[in-house]
A = this chain, B = another copy of it.
Amino acid sequence: MNVTGIVVEYNPFHNGHLYHINESKRVTGADVIVAVMSGNFLQRGEPAVADKWSRAAVALKHGADIVFELPTVYATQNAQTFAFGAVSLLDQLQCVHSLCFGSESGSIQELQSVSSILADEPEEFKGYLQKFLSAGLSYPKAMHEALAMIGIPLYQRNSTAQPNNTLGLMYLLALHKLKSSITPVTIQRIAAEYHQETITSDSIASATAIRKLANTGSSEQIKEYVPDAITALFSNTYRTMLHWDHFQDLLFYKIYSMNIEELRDIIDVDEGMEYRLKKIVGNANSVNELIEMLKVKRFTWTRIQRMLVHILLDMKKSKLASLQVTPYARILGFTDQGRQLLQIAKKKSAIPLVTKWGKQQLLYADYDHVANRIYSLIEQQHRRDDWSLSQLIHREFSKPPIQQ
């Protein structure tokens, strides 16, 4: 079996994702697509528009053969940690042959030439990187500038200035760090840039644009850009796409009740942000207002959102200082094709494949449980069906993987 891994969020699944899956299959000649998907909280530091089970079901309907959940402790973190978690999960399965990701560059050679510098970290590069980071630049920007200082030509450096390239570089770095046998492959992104808010194609729009459309315009309008399963999900199950505002009470409550020391111990609460948080939170009337007020040059919107998710989920530096390789692979669902691979993976995998949470104590799994409970609490209030809160919470423990 030829197995290709992909790393996804599907927030929500749209036509561009469909293109990515199909192209991944075509380019790698894969029989099986294994997706590692973020759960209910995402890398951009946001709650997902719909629960992970629903998002996994749509993915299985559209070409993914297995959907694993990326554990929460990686899913909500910066590109480097996110990529390391996802790649290490795929690597630990020991039956994935390639990793196929979208990038603006579309050239694996171009990305690898940069990633090898990042991996080797020559002293000169390291020095500049540190300098620019200390000066308050974001990681991608600091990387870009440091590469310039050591004489990397612009056409190569350019690849670091775009978000999917950066994520791609982080996948390559993780593969290198893990000495993985997985072959990286990249597909050029088409039609919509990552985060692009306006829509410039007839059928493909970024998830950001789709969420914006769904939240401001009519949900009818998203039909052109997403498969039917997504419109069905929102007309049958959800009243709206969930977003930060729905979690505002919980977030504000949490910040109100934490003291400076507790805040400082949360991942991404750095450089005095704990003081700004305590000072500012009382003036904010919405999550957006809070982020606007917290923004300073060296903290991007996404960086702040991630910090807020870490506060919401109580992700402490003292507990999660340096993450090890993903210690388990939670299966959200699979197709018939996926089932066959799971038979093989069960024998080969270096980490347990979790179909149901049992009594076993798995490192980091507590954070998945907390994330599930918190998400369920808010989700329940925005569903159209009559699922009770306790039913939603227990879904996490009683629901077998989706079989498509």
Contact = CB atoms under 8 A, between A and B. Distances in A.
Interface string A353-374: 0000000000000100010011
B284 A390 contact: yes
Given A250-B250, A250-B253, A285 B388 contact: yes
Interface string A376-396: 011000000000111001100
Contact of A283 (B256, B283, B378, B390): B390
The binding surface of chain A is classed by DSSP as helix
A171 to B, nearest CB: 31
Interface residues of A, number: 25
Given A250-B250, A282-B393, A394-B282, A256 B370 contact: yes
Contact of A253 (B282, B283, B377, B388): B377
A257 interface: yes
Contact of A256 (B282, B284, B377): B377
A282 B373 contact: yes
Contacts of A254: 253, 257
Nearest to A282: B393
Given A254-B257, A257-B313, 17 more contacts: A249-B249, A249-B378, A250-B253, A253-B253, A253-B377, A256-B370, A256-B374, A256-B377, A257-B370, A257-B374, A282-B390, A282-B394, A283-B394, A284-B390, A285-B388, A285-B389, A285-B390
Interface of A: 249-250, 252-254, 256-257, 259, 282-285, 313-314, 366, 370, 373-374, 377-378, 388-390, 393-394
Q: Which 5 A-B pairs have the closest CB atoms?
A: A256-B373, A282-B393, A250-B253, A283-B390, A285-B389
11 contacts: A249-B249, A249-B377, A250-B253, A256-B370, A256-B374, A256-B377, A259-B366, A283-B390, A283-B394, A285-B388, A285-B390
